[in-house]
Amino acid sequence: MKEYSKNLVKPEARHRYWHIHKADRDFFPESGVVFKMKFHDETYELKVNHKDDIMTGKLYKYRFLEVHRIIVTKKKENQYVLKAPDTKLYPSIS
């Protein structure tokens, strides 16, 4: 598998995580291993926790909502690119 995609469910959007189902688990590194994900010209360091969730709080200057689609492409070992066509940048607070 070179690509992983899913529509976010309400708890994922609300609590800022993405749950990885068992069938897709081997697409991502082992639990606790840091990997890099590029999104909108920025690179973020993330990891999968012991519950097979990716905690995505670092990405939340963007607005990920329920039913938004995420598409993760694996470029090489521990390096990924994220596309989220529905996601918008939060307006800056001055």
Amino acid in position 88: K
pLDDT of 1 above 70: no
- The model's confidence at residue 87, banded by pLDDT at 50, 70 and 90, is confident
The pTM (predicted TM-score) of the whole model is 0.87
Q: What is the pLDDT of residues 50-68, one digit of tens each?
A: 999 999 988 878 888 999 9
- Beta-carbon contacts of 38 under 8 Å, excluding residues fewer than 6 positions away, are 44, 79, 80, 81, 82
pLDDT for 93? 54
